[in-house]
Structure 1
Amino acid sequence: MSGFQERLKSARQRLGLTQEALAEELNVTKASVSAWENGREKPGFRLLPKLRVVLDVSLDDLICGLDADRELPTEQPLVARNEGEADLLKAYRKLPAKRRKAWLELLGKG
């Protein structure tokens, strides 16, 4: 399993970016990017959202090392884990729109 620095470098190279180009996108120095990729330093918390956007990779993949080849959906659909949950979902879907809205409000989701 690769560490953060390897995943960072791999994501940068996948896009064909040099350390200098990535540094420019993030408004940091090339030396900072080099230090991250060599494991001497880690990027500050404030840079993580920018890294995600610039490298077009999820923070889960970048930080935690989830399978980089696996495409993660932006919003994963919920799946019933057992028969009871499936029955609840079926019953919910049969409700009129007003009742569904009331249930969501009751659950704090509406």
Structure 2
Amino acid sequence: MSGFHTRLKSARKHLGLTQEQLAAELNVGKASISAWENDREKPGFRLLHKLSTVLGVSLDELICGEGDDDMLEKPSPLTVRNEAEEVLLRSFRRMPVKRRQALLALMETLD
């Protein structure tokens, strides 16, 4: 079983986020993300929920490694069909959480 730092890095990379992007999502410095991923420090308790939300991983999986063992390794069931979809997906993943939620809400009104 991998440690927290390994699961964190794996989840971040799975989403295609850089350390800088994740840091911006959490309103912390890139150095904090680096320290967490290199097992020099741990995030504060208050950040854990937001971290799990941003990464789309349960707290149990992120902290304890419990749950779906292959969750971070599973490819997405959706595949990118063309370059336009890839651009949209990359842009979406780089957006702050609040903007993602606003965009999704807007898209719901279009259906």
TM bucket normalised to smaller? 0.5 to 0.7
Structure 2's unaligned 5+ residue stretches are 72-111
- For 1:53 and 1:65, how far apart are their aligned partners in 2? 16
Q: Which runs of 5+ in 1 are unaligned?
A: 71-110
Q: Which residue of 2 aligns with 1:14?
A: 14
Aligned match of 1:102: none
Q: Between Structure 1 and Structure 2, whose CA radius of gyration is higher?
A: 1
Aligned residue type for 1:8 = L
Residue 52 of structure 1: CA displacement?
1.1
Q: Cα gap change, 1:22/1:58 in structure 2, threshold over 3 Å: closer, same or farther?
A: same
1:69 is matched with which residue?
A: 70
Q: 1:20, 1:51 → 2: CA distance?
A: 14
Offset at residue 45 of structure 1 (A): 0.3
- CA drift of 1:48 comes to 0.7
Q: Which has the higher contact order (CA 8 A, sep 6+)?
A: 2
TM-score normalised by length of structure 2: 0.61
Instruction: Kindly provide the amino acid, as one letter, of the partner of residue 69 in structure 1.
Output: D
Q: CA RMSD in A?
A: 1.5
Size of the alignment, in residue pairs?
71
**1:68 Cα deviation after fit:** 3.7
Letter in 1 for 2:54: V
The alpha carbon displacement at 1:25 in A equals 0.1
Q: AA paired with 1:27?
A: N
Percent of aligned pairs with the same residue?
76
CA distance in structure 1 between the aligned counterparts of 2:50 and 2:2, rounded to whole angstroms: 22
